[in-house]
Amino acid sequence: MAGLKRIEREEPTAPAVEVARRLLDHLLTSRRLGAGDGLPPERELAETFGVGRSAVREALKSLSLLGLFEIRQGDGTYVRGATSDLLPQVLEWGLMIGDQTMDELLEARACVEVDLAELAALRRTENDLTALGSHLARMRATHDDPARYVEADLAFHRALAQASHNSALAGFQARLESLVAVWIKQNIRRPGEGKLAEHDAVLQAVTARNPQAARAAMHAHMASATARLRANLGRS
């Protein structure tokens, strides 16, 4: 695609984040792309940007979760709507990625997750507990596989959002997760036992129908998770 430039190694952001930023900029500024137009194959984009295909894949997944692109398995990636229609979504969800944006997203995520934990403690069903327990068990089983562990971790938080039985908040959590997940997945480290204990504390409080304990447990988890992510990104 004309206008796209190779990503230099000294770029401060993770490769997938930088790919997402550049694809977004190109989508908004190029007059050659419109609704239904296809992007080059992952391999070609990876060569253009000078990054691995996994970084391109993560960037496209993140942008597709926001509704900007549609990934058709075995066929390619396509622009979902007209640029004029997509721009409000981009502005609304703050995908103009930068350090301040990341801090604000992490702060918003923590606030939403704490409220969801409280509501889940009040409204959870036995089916909700089964789902949460299943995802926590997968986290334990994949402790030596960081990529699969993170998927189970994110699934736990989605199940908790569902257990709140508030579709508006659950939808908001999903949007925030799609924005933050690209950073999380690009900065995976071997999970510590502390993370499992933090999730277990949340589940115990939700199981006990104790909203105050659920809020406190999730608040502690979010503070710890945010600190870990910032440390992995080399930030205070």
pLDDT tens figures, 67-125: 778 889 888 899 886 655 555 555 444 444 455 567 777 888 999 999 999 999 999 99
User: pLDDT at position 44, please?
Assistant: 92
Mean pLDDT (whole number) for 180-184 = 67
Please count the other Cβ atoms lying within 10 Å of the Cβ belonging to residue 144. 9
Confidence of residue 24 (pLDDT cuts 50, 70, 90): confident
At the topology level of CATH, where does 15-89 sit?
A: Arc Repressor Mutant, subunit A (1.10.10)
Mean pLDDT (whole number) for 52-73 = 84
Q: Which CATH number fits domain 98-232: 1.20.120.530, 1.20.1260.10, 1.20.970.10, 3.90.650.10?
A: 1.20.120.530
% of residues, the chain, pLDDT over 90: 37
Mean pLDDT (whole number) for 189-218 = 90
Among the ranges given (60-64, 161-165, 200-204), the one the predictor scored with the smallest mean pLDDT: 60-64
| 110 contacts 226 by C-beta, under 8 angstroms | yes
User: pLDDT at position 22, please?
Assistant: 80
Structure tokens at 165: 């039985």
% of residues, the chain, pLDDT over 70: 74
Cβ within 8 Å of residue 31, ≥6 positions away: none
- 15-89 and 98-232, same CATH topology: no
Q: What DSSP string runs through the chain?
A: -TT--PPPTT-SS-HHHHHHHHHHHHHHH-SS--TTPBPPPHHHHHHHHTS-HHHHHHHHHHHHHTTSEEEETTTEEEE-S-HHHHHHHHHHHT-S--HHHHHHHHHHHHHHHHHHHHHHHHH--HHHHHHHHHHHHHHHHTTT-HHHHHHHHHHHHHHHHHHTT-HHHHHHHHHHHHHHHHHHHHT--PPPHHHHHHHHHHHHHHHTT-HHHHHHHHHHHHHHHHHHHHHHTT--
Mean pLDDT (whole number) for 185-203 = 77
Cα 176 vs. chain centroid, distance in angstroms? 7
Confidence of residue 58 (pLDDT cuts 50, 70, 90): confident
Considering only residues 221 and 193, tell me which one the structure prediction assigns the higher pLDDT: 221
d(CA 79, CA 82): 8
Q: Residue with structure tokens 């509704």? A: 67
Q: Domain limits of the chain?
A: 15-89, 98-232
Among the ranges given (118-132, 139-153, 203-217), the one the predictor scored with the smallest mean pLDDT: 139-153
